[in-house]
Structure 1
Amino acid sequence: MKTVIMAGGRGTRISSVASDIPKPMIRIEGKPVLEHEIACLREQGFTDIIITVSHLAEHIMNYFGDGSSFGVNIEYFVEEQPLGNAGALLKLRPQLTEDFLLLNADAVFDIDFNRFVAYHREKGGLVTLFTHPNSHPYDSGLLIADDSGAAEKWLTKEESRPQWYRNRVNAGLHVISPLALDMCGISADEVGTERDGKTVKVDLDRQILKPLCGSGKMFCYDSPEYVKDMGTPDRYEAVCADFAAGRVSARNLKHKQRAVFLDRDGTINKYVGFLRDIEQFELLDGAAEAVRRINTSGFLAVVVTNQPVIARGEVTFGELSEIHNKMETLLGQEGAYLDGIYYCPHHPHKGYEGEVPELKTDCSCRKPKAGMLLKAAEELNIDLSRSWMAGDGENDILAGKNAGCRTALIGSEDLGQDITADSLLAAVERILSEEQEENK
């Protein structure tokens, strides 16, 4: 599979870090960002690379040459005049005869590309977008997808959005069928020519990707792996720190992950009994800070929650999704995010008015059973023996133990847990302190 890396940007926002070289050549840990990208691709068998260049192109071309010194084969497309961020793709269309990876050269990432591509092939669409949660969804482009992962809406940060939304952000990594390029209505010969006094350019998001929303042909690949833009001095410093701490490579799903599993009601939000109304959902004090500390620690933050209100017929799947959207929105407003949400909709006791019969079952996912944790471990490659379960009840502690995790109880009971604390924030502080001590 070919990989196209777009490296033609001018990088004006980060010019204070380096103004005399193109942004992809700025060094992290002694190597250009683009070299880190190429190494990640090479290690996973993606060695056929096309780099589109423009501003200060000679710096990139002279450094990487034909790629042989880096274990890959590199060709270049030199953009003599601005063609938009997808104009080069249309010019390259004759070389793009099958699905290809499309990456930005100014992103810092380390992801399992083979897993990404396998998901794309499984879905059978024209485009798959790499999406992830981040700490600032309120000013990021958001994707809204259906239950199958098909993209329904793409909201730019300038567009109005729902009051409550899932923290699903476009990371700028794509698998694209060349057929998607043919659907934009502009031919390769037209790109760069004059039309009505203006140069014909092509915008990737606006003219190629966003029109596929709602078509069932573009899918979201949700992943907690590390992808960050380093386009400003502050973000550059942040990714340098992440590299130095080993957080970039550690998040690749090829490697076993550590997680802090979190109960929902009474742990993240105030306990109100069976939560049936979205207006009842309110974050507990310190919950967002606790999740934010998990985010920066190297652990995944994964919610696992029993929701029998679904089986009882008191809340629909759609209403539960909206409640979880509110949770993600409120956390995102405070710079925190969840890497996964797993819920059990079942309830074992039958005979109630309005219940959903097919969900009235003795399942394997309802805590204190470990089903939700086991499913998360399979999907996110989590090492349960190095993970924690934090919650406010006996079922949470038992579920954690049944999964082989260490456990933290928010409360004062003696349930044989490893840690006792009076809030989620205090529990997370103790978890991270113990981990730090053990890693010395």
Structure 2
Amino acid sequence: MNNWEICLLDSSARVVDAARVIDASIAKIALVVDKDRKLLGCITDYDVRKAVLCGMDLLENKALSIMNANPKVIESSASNILIHQTMLNKNVRQLPLVDSKGCLCGLRILSEFDISRLKHSNPVILMAGGLGTRLRPLTDKCPKPLLRIGDKPIMEIILESFIQQGFSNFYISVNYKADMIEDYFGDGNRYGISINYIREKKRLGTAGALSLLPDNIEEPVLVMNGDLLTKVDFGQLLDCHNYRHADATMCVREYRYQVPYGVVDIADEKEWVITGLTEKPVHSAFVNAGIYMLNPEVIKDIPKDTYFDMTDVFALNIEKNRKNMAFPIREYWMDVGRMEDFERAREDFL
């Protein structure tokens, strides 16, 4: 990798700095070094997301606190064949090159050896059958996926984001004004991709349309609501889903809300003893972000042509002792289903 030095991170940096370095490079790694460029450790996108899920303050905490201090490395004199084989054997996508003193000399990434790893054959299902009720009157004559943000429809922005990340196999679930959506996007040929349509004849909830997918799907499926604008790294989502051997993965976002009153802590309900007071406290919780990875066997359990929500899918997985996992989103994310958010997205994409 020629420009590997953009992955360097000073040992005094914060977690948020590590996230910026990771996002700035195709390598998706931060290499933590001292003043002599001795490699102290590595931080990956997975490490940062884990910190988010644990509630860590990315602005306050040091990057060293989430660093892998014993990363896999290889001597800079190693041949390309040895480097490639080591990455395959160790199941790593990045491999730092070091000299005899442990000082960093370079970085190799797996896609340098196999460009096909940047391509994903996994089906992407975009749920676009909603009525867009909250965006009326804009949706009275135009389906929500074709409303424009800047000079492009919402769905086109979503498609192009996936295409840029190597996805090419799409299904779009349609119902309301389906003909307008199909006429605009066609079979995907003008984008160099394949688009098929799932036609809902009745309202099927947020997951029921998945029961209408072909039976021959053999890879994990990426499902996303058709009114989301995001810069999520979908390749990282797929890697995380596979790495953790998940049956279903739900993207989540941290949601903060403030209680508009002073909160009173009462220890003894019989005696009404006040033990503490907090003025307008801020709480946080992780909420469903409308993006999912689902294994084929999970989709096969969705009842055919029946109203079924995505919450029902995850509840059914719990009943069957399947592995449901969370993937925290730290990138830009906007649900444009409400008028105020739609207007805000328009400003973001000016």
Instruction: Name stretches of at least 5 consecutive residues in structure 2 with no aligned partner.
Output: 1-121, 260-280
Mapping 1:280-319, distance limit 5 Å: none
Q: TM-score normalized by structure 1?
A: 0.44
Determine the structure 2 residue equivalent to 1:218: 324
Given residue 54 of structure 1, which amino acid in structure 2 is its aligned partner?
Answer: N
Instruction: Name stretches of at least 5 consecutive residues in structure 1 with no aligned partner.
Output: 139-162, 192-199, 245-440
Given residue 345 of structure 2, which amino acid in structure 1 is its aligned partner?
Answer: V
Residues 136 and 226 (structure 1), Cα distance of their counterparts in 2 relative to 1, 3 Å cut: farther
Residues 234 and 109 (structure 1), Cα distance of their counterparts in 2 relative to 1, 3 Å cut: same
User: Is 1:23 aligned with 2:144?
Assistant: yes
Write the distance in 2 (CA, Å) between the matches of 1:21 and 1:95. Answer: 33
User: Is 1:127 aligned with 2:233?
Assistant: no
Determine the structure 1 residue equivalent to 2:292: 174
Write the distance in 1 (CA, Å) between the matches of 2:258 and 2:123. Answer: 31
Contact 2:248 2:323 (8 Å CA) reproduced: yes
- Which aligned runs of 4 or more in structure 1 are off by greater than 6 angstroms? none
Determine the structure 1 residue equivalent to 2:219: 98
User: Is 1:233 aligned with 2:233?
Assistant: no
Which sits farther off after the overlay, 233-242 or 211-220? 211-220
Secondary structure at the aligned position of 1:51 is classed as: strand
- Cα shift at 1:72: 1.5
Determine the structure 2 residue equivalent to 1:308: none
Contact 1:129 1:218 (8 Å CA) reproduced: yes
Secondary structure at the aligned position of 1:61 is classed as: helix
Write the distance in 2 (CA, Å) between the matches of 1:134 and 1:19. Answer: 31
- Cα shift at 1:84: 2.6
User: Is 1:203 aligned with 2:324?
Assistant: no
Determine the structure 1 residue equivalent to 2:206: 85
Mapping 1:356-375, distance limit 5 Å: none
Given residue 292 of structure 2, which amino acid in structure 1 is its aligned partner?
Answer: H
- Cα shift at 1:136: 4.8
Count of residue correspondences: 207
Given residue 172 of structure 1, which amino acid in structure 2 is its aligned partner?
Answer: G
Write the distance in 2 (CA, Å) between the matches of 1:164 and 1:125. Answer: 32
Mapping 1:317-332, distance limit 5 Å: none
- Cα shift at 1:64: 0.4
CA RMSD across the alignment: 2.2
Higher strand share: 2
Residues 171 and 70 (structure 1), Cα distance of their counterparts in 2 relative to 1, 3 Å cut: same
Residues 87 and 56 (structure 1), Cα distance of their counterparts in 2 relative to 1, 3 Å cut: same
Given residue 173 of structure 1, which amino acid in structure 2 is its aligned partner?
Answer: I
Write the distance in 2 (CA, Å) between the matches of 1:224 and 1:169. Answer: 13
Identity %: 29
- Cα shift at 1:97: 2.4
Given residue 186 of structure 2, which amino acid in structure 1 is its aligned partner?
Answer: G
Q: TM-score normalized by structure 2?
A: 0.55
- Cα shift at 1:93: 4.7
- Cα shift at 1:61: 0.3
Contact 2:222 2:292 (8 Å CA) reproduced: yes
- Cα shift at 1:137: 8.9
Contact 1:54 1:79 (8 Å CA) reproduced: yes
Determine the structure 1 residue equivalent to 2:78: none
Give a deviation string over 1:294-316, Cα, whole Å, max 9, x none: xxxxxxxxxxxxxxxxxxxxxxx
Contact 2:132 2:139 (8 Å CA) reproduced: no
Mapping 1:55-66, distance limit 5 Å: 55-66=176-187
Write the distance in 2 (CA, Å) between the matches of 1:137 and 1:128. Answer: 28
- Cα shift at 1:18: 3.5
Contact 1:28 1:240 (8 Å CA) reproduced: yes
- Cα shift at 1:203: 2.0
Write the distance in 2 (CA, Å) between the matches of 1:137 and 1:41. Answer: 35
Given residue 211 of structure 1, which amino acid in structure 2 is its aligned partner?
Answer: L
Contact 1:131 1:168 (8 Å CA) reproduced: yes
Give a deviation string over 1:134-159, Cα, whole Å, max 9, x none: 35599xxxxxxxxxxxxxxxxxxxxx
Given residue 182 of structure 1, which amino acid in structure 2 is its aligned partner?
Answer: K
